Structure 1
Amino acid sequence: MGRFARGGAMVGALVLTASLALTGCGGDQKKPEFVSGAQQTGAPAAVGSTDAPSPQAVAPLTVSPADGADDRPVSSEIRAKIPGGGEVTKVVLATADGDTVEGQLRRDGSSWVPSKPLKYRTRYTATVTGTGTDGQTHRGTSSFTTMAKPKSMIGSGLYMFSGKTYGVAMPVVAEFSPGIPKKDRAAVQKRMFVQTDPPQRGAWHWLYNGTQAYYRAPEYWKPGTTITVRLALAGIPLSNGRYGNVDRVATAKIGRSFEMKVDNATKRMTVYQDGAVIRTLPVSLGKKSTPSSSGTMVVMEKKESTVFDTRDEPDPDNQYVTKIDFAQRLTWGGEYIHSAPWSEGVQGRENVSHGCVNVSMANGRWLFARTLIGDPVTVRGTERKLVPGNGWTAWSMSWSEFVEGSALPVPEGGAGPAF
């Protein structure tokens, strides 16, 4: 069982393109909260009249951030409300220099979200246009200024690279250092956007200490899925006085279906591709004093050649320095699938490892050439259960258990995209 420090955060590029309108209380969708006053003329004068039409004031929209607001977070969203309900049709956010910010309305109509963080210490003007349930056009503006860059920030990471292809069990993994306080997780989760093509519902699950959050669907991703992620964290204010540091973005692809299932009873690994068995391999798992973990893990890291150094283990019997070939990490604690020529004589019959899944040199090479980061590995029948958070453990629980870890309510079948 090897030991290595956890990898750094992985960041990619994201472009969000959907644009949805808000509807008022007269429609089936949720009423918006959108923008500030305008004047409209009333009905024309009667035929033959020489009097000019009398102007009628249109009830103003209410905009947030409010006009004149100062020290607003760079994560601010534009909210507005049309009195009596209606539909917001256009939002323009611009600096005093005329530079505009792209953005889009949330699907639930609650706000307009800039597609990138606002700039620090910058004055913005939001101009909103909408149609009321009375059929009249409402317009309004609000100018506000963002805060200076805060000194106390929270670190963040995204374990996904843009342009990469992952296995069907690859969760979206957000990491925070220090962890997000429990009372702040709902607000942070609202700013963590995931879209999939083809569409698949999903949910977030927070680890107990708030250092990581996983996003997955009820089942493995469909092969060929494109996953687009934006952790819109820059400027989010937290209750501990810290602020989010940066936005993390990535667009990645899901490859073919490839699963590895290990049974301690038979000491065999069965390998499936696209649902069909393509090979069965003999294995040796962890001995009783250092058992392998039972649960569903994913391949987190691949190294064709590395060195396992466990000389800091308290038990002298578990201390060694060994060169390892075809290593595929499954847990942060140091469980791997790897070739082990020294145990080939007992593979399929006896467990002798320090917690890893031992395979022969030939089988290790064969697996290594075919796996992707994010491929699922399920081990069953061992003396130890996989500990949540020891690796990307998003799939080592039922869907009902998984959604219990969300900071926001999850609709049956999972939440859809925000936009």
Structure 2
Amino acid sequence: MHSDARPTLSSGRTTRRSLMLAAGVAVLAGCTSDPGKKPQASSSGPASSPSPSVPAATAQITAPAEGTANVPTAMEVAVTVANATKTEVVFADPGGEVVEAVPHQVEGAWIPARQLKYDTRYEARVTVTGSDGRTATTTASFTTMKKPGSLAKVTSVVNDGQTVGVAMPFIINFGVDVAKDQRAAVQRRLTVVSDPPQEGTWNWFNGKEVHFRPKDYWQPGTKLSLRAALGGLPIGGKWHTERDLTINATVGRKFLMEVENKTHQLTVTQDGQVVRTMPVSNGRPANPSASGHFMIMIKNEWEWFDSSTFGVPSDSKNGYRLKVYWPQRLTWDGEYLHSAPWSVGDQGKRNVSHGCTNLSPANAEWLWKQTLIGDPVIIRNTEEHVKWGNGWTDWDVSWDEYVKGSAVPYQPPAPPSASTSTSASASAAPSASS
């Protein structure tokens, strides 16, 4: 069956917890950092003379240069520090408003914790503290660009505050194609944090859509946070991204649906325990259901199913236009789980549908009331296999294959350090970031 329904997109606000994975390097969510490992550079500091036994902490801003104009609001400040136990970076405008900075996934770089204002002069201030407690501050002024005329929308399929299934990826959609040579820069501005930390990575399904999934299903109860620090970022040609995004979400219980075509049965397990087995009827030989790993993408109490949407007139021999109850979409081309009172006599025995998985009205309603968006569905042993990208097929390839879709070379996460409460990430990096 087919429908043109698409998921609702939205944005929200977030807080950061344990570091998760991301685009290509682990990032720390905060406005301070550990000392850098690069040679010391010039900086200013208090007038008191340094202790001969303790080298003074120094900092140097290497970009943007003093007085740089037309800087994107999704800017980065490059900092070299030496002998510092603590580094703090902020941006201040002439009115005294201060925007804190957080470490970027690119070593030695910092980005604003929220998008800067257009056409505004800012002073970047870097303050370092040495082991002796003395501080030094260095500054550089720059002016952001005027608001671009072509801003691309940035939206998230996961809503702020939503509870999702264990298979649910973060999905970011762009209003225009992101140029291939800009995707790594975009990905490095995407940070996912999970609590508890779990390894994961981004995958570019196409130029307008990038997904982030963990290596294994999310652990039930995981707290997720996404920050897309994209507002004003160049993405190719005349286009810049419209805004930042911050999304918080929670992972629900592990609820898995498995359809075995050989036996015409759907088995439901929750947290590893079988809770229900239901007879089904899949696609008949002329219109087989696809096998593969799917997710619940969209749920409605009912939808009109109309064969004319995929080229078969509804008034033809093989056509139909039906009001179908308890539909749950699995693919973009129209495979669903749904109620089918007309095929109850066939369910558990033979396949008679146009490609969907038919359930009795009672079973379809029960299942619909249990599921979350992002709950996994596995269909086995049908005559064909789902095509990549026909729905959220993130789990239909191996992890080794999935990481190839990252625009940043993948690096497994480093083991968590005993000296820090945050954990490494993975993606082309670790468990939480770009």
Distance change in 2, residues 1:285/1:350 (3 Å):
same
Q: CA deviation at 1:9?
A: 1.8
Distance in 2, matches of 1:191 and 1:351, equals 47
Q: What TM-score, normalized by structure 1, do the two folds share?
A: 0.89
Q: 1:4-403 residue pairs with structure 2 within 5 A? A: 4-16=4-16, 18-19=29-30, 20-25=32-37, 31=38, 36-38=43-45, 40-42=47-49, 61-82=60-81, 86-106=84-104, 109-131=107-129, 137-207=135-205, 209-315=206-312, 316-403=316-403
Distance in 1, matches of 2:331 and 2:39, equals 45
Q: CA deviation at 1:108?
A: 6.7
Distance in 2, matches of 1:32 and 1:265, equals 66
Distance in 2, matches of 1:40 and 1:293, equals 73
Q: Is the 8 A contact 2:288 2:355 kept in 1?
A: yes
Q: CA deviation at 1:352?
A: 1.1
Corresponding pairs, count? 402
Distance change in 2, residues 1:286/1:73 (3 Å):
same
Aligned residue among 411, 416, 419 for 2:431: 416
Q: CA deviation at 1:248?
A: 2.0
Q: Is the 8 A contact 1:204 1:405 kept in 2?
A: yes
Where do 5+ consecutive residues of structure 1 fail to align? 26-30, 46-55
Query: For 1:216, what is the secondary structure of its paired residue?
Result: strand
Q: CA RMSD in A?
A: 2.7
Q: CA deviation at 1:238?
A: 2.1
Distance in 1, matches of 2:382 and 2:44, equals 68
Distance in 2, matches of 1:176 and 1:33, equals 40
Distance change in 2, residues 1:95/1:33 (3 Å):
farther
Distance in 1, matches of 2:263 and 2:139, equals 70
Q: CA deviation at 1:250?
A: 1.1
Distance change in 2, residues 1:35/1:10 (3 Å):
farther
Distance change in 2, residues 1:332/1:60 (3 Å):
closer
Distance change in 2, residues 1:137/1:223 (3 Å):
same
Distance change in 2, residues 1:204/1:43 (3 Å):
closer
Q: Is the 8 A contact 1:102 1:114 kept in 2?
A: yes
Query: For 2:207, what is the secondary structure of its paired residue?
Result: coil
Q: CA deviation at 1:392?
A: 1.2
Higher relative contact order by CA 8 Å / sep ≥ 6: 1 or 2? Answer: 2
Q: Is the 8 A contact 1:195 1:227 kept in 2?
A: yes
* Identity between Structure 1 and Structure 2 (%): 42
Q: Is the 8 A contact 1:157 1:248 kept in 2?
A: yes
Q: Which residue of 1 aligns with 2:423?
A: none
Query: For 1:233, what is the secondary structure of its paired residue?
Result: coil
Counterpart residue identity of residue 220, structure 2: P
Q: CA deviation at 1:398?
A: 0.9
Query: For 1:369, what is the secondary structure of its paired residue?
Result: helix
Query: For 1:395, what is the secondary structure of its paired residue?
Result: helix
Counterpart residue identity of residue 2, structure 2: G
Query: For 2:153, what is the secondary structure of its paired residue?
Result: strand
Distance in 1, matches of 2:187 and 2:128, equals 28
Distance in 1, matches of 2:39 and 2:59, equals 15
Distance in 2, matches of 1:33 and 1:118, equals 29
Q: CA deviation at 1:105?
A: 2.3
Segment of structure 1 superposing worse, 135-144 or 34-43? 34-43
Distance in 2, matches of 1:35 and 1:400, equals 44
Distance in 1, matches of 2:72 and 2:33, equals 25
Could you give the per-residue CA deviations for residues 193-246 of structure 1, whole angstroms, max 9, x where no partner exists? 110111112100111x32211111111000001111112221111232210111
Counterpart residue identity of residue 260, structure 2: D
Could you give the per-residue CA deviations for residues 138-188 of structure 1, whole angstroms, max 9, x where no partner exists? 321111111011011222220011122111111111112322122111000
Q: Is the 8 A contact 1:61 1:80 kept in 2?
A: yes
Q: Is the 8 A contact 2:183 2:235 kept in 1?
A: no
Q: What TM-score, normalized by structure 2, do the two folds share?
A: 0.86
Q: Is the 8 A contact 2:56 2:134 kept in 1?
A: no
Q: Which residue of 2 aligns with 1:52?
A: none
Distance change in 2, residues 1:239/1:298 (3 Å):
same
Distance in 2, matches of 1:149 and 1:21, equals 31
Counterpart residue identity of residue 273, structure 2: A
Could you give the per-residue CA deviations for residues 308-341 of structure 1, whole angstroms, max 9, x where no partner exists? 1222433445432101011111111111100100
Counterpart residue identity of residue 195, structure 1: V
Distance in 1, matches of 2:57 and 2:195, equals 42
Distance change in 2, residues 1:356/1:344 (3 Å):
same
Query: For 1:377, what is the secondary structure of its paired residue?
Result: strand
Q: CA deviation at 1:190?
A: 0.5
Q: Is the 8 A contact 1:35 1:129 kept in 2?
A: no
Distance change in 2, residues 1:313/1:134 (3 Å):
same
Distance change in 2, residues 1:113/1:240 (3 Å):
same
Q: Highest Rg: 1 or 2?
A: 1
Distance in 2, matches of 1:170 and 1:349, equals 32
Query: For 2:234, what is the secondary structure of its paired residue?
Result: coil
